[in-house]
A and B are shown apart, each in its own frame.
Chain A
Amino acid sequence: MTDWVHAVHVICSGDAMAGAIGALDVAFPCDDGAPRDAAHPERYGCALSADGKTPVTHYGASFSVTEEIRQRLEGLGLAQTPGVNYWRCTNPGGVLVTSNQPSAPAAGTPWDFDASAAALGLKRVEMEYPGLQG
């Protein structure tokens, strides 16, 4: 049985990313203790927008946490921060437990990151390699 019993999906508006990254550094620091670089939100979350094109309006991340880390994350008020959209599911299994979204389905619904993005009307922003227009 894994200790990483929670799967968290977080989608932040661009303005909220710096605060969310700061909260992660406190509640869920990197193994090597190095701080994350809030100046580069694209390193931590996938780029999202309403039409799947630039400009990017939101960034999303999906990861698992232990109960201890969950308490720290939620204790910092991450889910109550303006611009932060938050879903917590079981891990493994991916069943929704709670969310700060009023329109979220009932607890017990199968849920993943793509469902989170779709619930906000967001699509991944396509970025082609230069020179590849297949």
Chain B
Amino acid sequence: MQIGLGISPTIPMGVAVPAFTPTSISGLQLWLDASDSSTLYQNSNGTTAATADGDPVGYWADKSGNGRHATQSDGTKKAALKVSNQNGRNVNYFDGVNDNLGFSFPISYGYVWVVYKFTGVTNSASAALINRSLGPGLYATMNFDTKPGIYWYKAGAGSDETMSLSVGTGTSSANVVRFILLQNEMGISLNETTKSTVSLASSPVGNWINIGSALTAQAYQGSICEIVVSTNAATDSDFTNMYLYLKQKWGTT
């Protein structure tokens, strides 16, 4: 039996329409989901679950299947689990002092979605949401700052390139930010309403290595709810579906 409403396509009764998840897009590289309690652990080897409000988080399991788990073995730098904190879901809270999680991410380009609630208004210095490897070469980092707002920063020998949006650092709500870093372009979109792109003179290289920053002067203060990274060329449909998935899930603006 089918229900036909005079429009196409028709959907067979009783057949559930598959829900969109980050695994629905191709090229998924990383998926960190703080609302999934099975992915959060107190210790960096992922053996003691983090379940209670205030538990330290030393291991955030990657659900992409690529094993890019984010870890922190130093108890003074671990994020904290906040239970039922955002739209009834758990989040990881970074204290803006020295919290960060490290991961191995041997790519420097892609499409990055982050659901966050930034509360670092007392920080006058920049705060790294995802930070890059140190050392020579080109690299990119996605940051907040009290001055330019959200920004990409790509630096290299004689070719610093920066783009920013002067919105989105407000503390009143959670947001979905989409970063794009390709061989010849980088871009930012906040809640799929404010978009900006710039062309790059040179391709980025280097690795993303931290959620938060290992540099305490750039420590991120606030919640990080979910991070998704894909390297394949995403379609407009992918962008829309991902945004709606994250918006509905986290109650973002």
| Segment 139-161 of B: residues with Cβ below 8 Å from A | 141, 143, 145, 147-148, 151, 153, 155, 160
A11 to chain B, nearest CB (A): 10
**Residue B74 CB within 8 A of the other chain:** yes
A85 to chain B, nearest CB (A): 14
Contact-residue bracket for chain B? 35 or more
Partner of A61, one of B56, B98, B151, B218: B98
B80 and A129: CB pair below 8 A?
A: no
B160 and A130: CB pair below 8 A?
A: yes
B76 and A46: CB pair below 8 A?
A: no
List B contacts of A132 (CB < 8 A): 126, 148, 151, 153, 160, 162
Per-position 1/0 for A47-81, Cβ under 8 A of B:
10000100000011111110001000000000000
Task: Report the Cα distance A132→B44, complex, angstroms.
Answer: 34
Task: Report the Cα distance A4→B217, complex, angstroms.
Answer: 26
**Residue B43 CB within 8 A of the other chain:** yes
Partner of B155, one of A30, A91, A114, A131: A131
Tell me how many residues of A have a C-beta within 8 Å of chain B: 42
Task: Report the Cα distance A42→B216, complex, angstroms.
Answer: 7
List residues of B whose CB falls within 8 A of some A CB.
Answer: 43-45, 52-56, 58, 73-78, 80, 95-98, 122-126, 141, 143, 145, 147-148, 151, 153, 155, 160, 162, 164, 214-219
Per-position 1/0 for A1-43, Cβ under 8 A of B:
1111100000000000000000010001011101010000011
Task: Report the Cα distance A36→B75, complex, angstroms.
Answer: 11
B217 and A127: CB pair below 8 A?
A: yes
Report if A124-B124 is in contact (Cβ < 8 Å); known contacts: A4-B56, A45-B216. yes
A28 and B97: CB pair below 8 A?
A: no
**Main SS of chain A's interface residues?**
loop
B157 to chain A, nearest CB (A): 11
Report if A125-B76 is in contact (Cβ < 8 Å); known contacts: A1-B52, A31-B45, A62-B95. no
Partner of A52, one of B97, B124, B148, B216: B124
B77 to chain A, nearest CB (A): 7
List B contacts of A24 (CB < 8 A): 76
B80 and A64: CB pair below 8 A?
A: yes
B75 and A113: CB pair below 8 A?
A: no
Chain B residue at minimal CB-CB distance from A60:
B97
B121 to chain A, nearest CB (A): 10
Task: Report the Cα distance A55→B15, complex, angstroms.
Answer: 66
Task: Report the Cα distance A4→B54, complex, angstroms.
Answer: 7
B125 and A127: CB pair below 8 A?
A: yes
Task: Report the Cα distance A52→B122, complex, angstroms.
Answer: 12
Task: Report the Cα distance A62→B94, complex, angstroms.
Answer: 11
List B contacts of A32 (CB < 8 A): 44, 73
List B contacts of A60 (CB < 8 A): 97
A46 and B155: CB pair below 8 A?
A: no
List A contacts of B219 (CB < 8 A): 46
